[in-house]
Structure 1
Amino acid sequence: MLNGNDRPIKLGMHTYTLHFFGLGESWGFGRDYAFPQTIDLIQLMDYAVEWELDGLQITKVDLQNTELEHLAEIKAAAEERDLFLEFNASFNAPSDSRVNCTVREALQITKAIGSDLTKFSLDVKRPRPHYGTSFHPDVMRQLALRYEEFKEALPLLEELGLKVAIENHCDTYADEVIWLVDQINHPMVGTCLDTVNSVSVTEGPEPLVNKLASRAYCCHFSDNAMEINPLGTHWIGVPHGTGDIDLPKVLKVLREKSTLDRVIFENEIPFLRSDEPLEEARERELQACKESITYLRNVLQIGVRNR
């Protein structure tokens, strides 16, 4: 029998990794802005095969439409390429409303594309200052609403045989996610552990990983670098293995404390400057994606597979 340190772990990619190509979600430019989509989901699946990935985590943006016939085609395309799919949903995304779903809608899409897991961001609006606001009354009122939405959908979740993973998105503390999962109290509802998001609410990555790992049904396995300059302190997405997240240590914790057999890598490569041409940003983003895959496979031995 394999122990935790020997367990094979598959490698998937969150489509947001290529957001400059119009995939995943357009972030930071306001609700009415979206990058032009220059790669469709079928093309991305072909890239995933070329890059020897095991799967993709996708959004409504990538699907382009949610007609059942189209979703069946997506399911068939993934099966043909031996790729797993996960579905990533938001309630009220701050920059791109195209990714928003109700719980029921997200579960139905998940099933239709042949996936077994829906990842949810909670999209909590935090009071300021963020520091020290874990379980703030304003936050708890929002979490109570999310609780009601998830509880109402539990019969459908059971009927479809799916898992739900609730993420420590850039607006929630680990303890708040744990509280919500405990209140829902269902074996098919767990956490999505994102390795970099905690810094957005002034929470350390290492404590977060240790808190969420045992309940994780999903992991956004990301790397960021802290940059401090006269313009301020910045938490910047970088190729895996070049940032400030101790990824070997995170992987060790995941192997020891979680039952995960796959992780989803995610890059958030920023513009170098406000006037950087989009084509140049795309080139850097694609290069970072390839560098991350090389590191994750060759150094951490994630996603090593025979095709």
Structure 2
Amino acid sequence: MGQFQVGIDNYSLFPLKLNPLETLHWAKDHAAEGVAFSGFIEPEYQQLPSAYLDDLKQFAQANGLYLEWGGASHIPRDMTSWDKKDLFKINQKAASEAEKLDTRIVRSCSGGLMRWQPESPMTETLLQETAETLRDQRSMLQDHNVILAIETHFEFTTFELLKVFERCEAEPGGFVGICLDTMNLLTMLEDPVMATERILPWVVSTHIKDGGLTVNSDGMNSFVAELGRGVIDFYQILNRLKTLDRDLNLNIEDHGGDFSLPIFDPLFLSKFPDISVAEFTRLMKLAMQSQQKLDKRQCEIVDRSDWPALCEQRVKRDILTLKKIRSKF
């Protein structure tokens, strides 16, 4: 069994406009044990000199902080125009930077809400193109000794990610893996515990994020909640992650906002063909629990516009809460 370290994802602190080194200082000052740099302010990221990476590495090592990197993508398309996009150089840059930082984890996220947009390519098309892209990048990623950690985002369900791995002939512990975002699973109509079980051998990184579901006239909404105040069962999830034979960083990702899930639209729901009655029933139970918490003011839905004023204090509390949960293991 591996060990857990509790840290933050820098996306949580984006409103503070910290550069990467300042983010590491913030983590150290607030008892986080590391930082996953999964997202960047684009102009700043393009201008990072090699010497700056050395500074990050040295500060992290001197203060006992872990590092994870990002900047990679896996769907070879422009997610707005849907034009084809060559990802090799983009991912090679991210992999090279991670190697210089002495971290193996490179988080990959393409973004986009394909199932929500009628003009999007078919999911099957994107699955096949992703598998081909990953297959073509295998040697490059292995040469840099990194793992491309595909986030459970809004692109593919865990069922579909397993298909991608099969098609690119990957194996757990190899050149690709999963960054498990616990709340995004709700948005993809997956029960977080069941989804964790499905992809468990592939998990190499995490976005520990709480949340919930509400029911409305259009279907449901998923929302982000302060850690420990939503309905995601982190004890069950960590109990499963604890069985892995490697250490795992628990990266807190927190932000405001909610997401529309128009499940009463048959066309939208048909785009999730792997959902079972059993799993959908569990989602409805989570929605009921979420509403109870909201009614009792045990949690709240924070508008994204309000997040900047709240983020620093909430992330501080998130760190304390997650450490308490970790202490049970």
Per the shorter chain, which TM-score range? 0.7 to 0.9
Determine which structure has the larger helix proportion and give its number. Answer: 2
For residue 153 of structure 2, give the secondary structure of its aligned residue in structure 1. Answer: coil
Check conservation: 2:79, 2:112, Cα contact below 8 A: no
Match of 2:310 in 1: 284
Shift of 1:233: 4.1
Deviations 1:127-171 (A, max 9, x none): 4589xxxxx981122222222322222222222211221222122
TM-score normalized by structure 1?
Answer: 0.76
Counting matched residue pairs gives 268
**Pairwise CA RMSD:** 3.0
Find the partner of 2:104 among 98, 102, 116: 116
Matched, 1:199 2:181: no
SS in 1 for 2:134: helix
Partner SS for 1:293: helix
CA positional deviation for 1:237: 1.5
Match of 1:25 in 2: none
Contact 1:124 1:139 in 2 (8 A): no
Structure 2 gaps of 5+ residues are: 81-86, 258-300
Stretch deviating more after TM superposition (252-261 or 187-196): 252-261
CA 1:301–1:125: 2 relative to 1, 3 Å: same
In structure 2, the residue matched to 1:126 is: 114
Query: 1:170–1:200: 8 Å Cα contact kept in structure 2?
Result: yes
- Partner residue in 2 for 1:34: none
Question: Where in structure 1 are there 5+ consecutive unaligned residues?
Answer: 22-36, 95-99, 131-135
The 8 Å contact of residues 98 and 106 in structure 2, kept in 1 or not, is answered as yes
Identity %: 17
Q: Structure 1 pair 229/286, CA: closer, same or farther in 2 (3 Å)?
A: farther
1:244 & 1:52 partners in 2: Cα distance?
25
**Per the alignment, do residues 117 and 231 of structure 1 end up closer, same or farther by CA in structure 2, a change over 3 Å counting?**
same
Normalised by the length of structure 2, the TM-score is 0.71
Structure 1 match to 2:22: 43
Match of 1:61 in 2: 41
The reply on whether 1:299 has 2:281 as its aligned counterpart is: no
Q: 1:235 to 1:169 in 2, by over 3 A?
A: same
Contact 2:94 2:106 in 1 (8 A): yes
Pairing of 1:1-307 with structure 2 (within 5 A): 4=1, 7-21=2-16, 37=17, 39-58=18-37, 59-61=39-41, 64=45, 65-91=47-73, 102-123=90-111, 126-127=114-115, 138-186=122-170, 187-228=174-215, 233-256=220-243, 259-270=246-257, 272=302, 281-301=307-327
Cα–Cα, structure 1 residues 140 and 102, in superposed 2: closer, same or farther, change >3 Å?
A: farther
Give 1:227 shift.
4.1
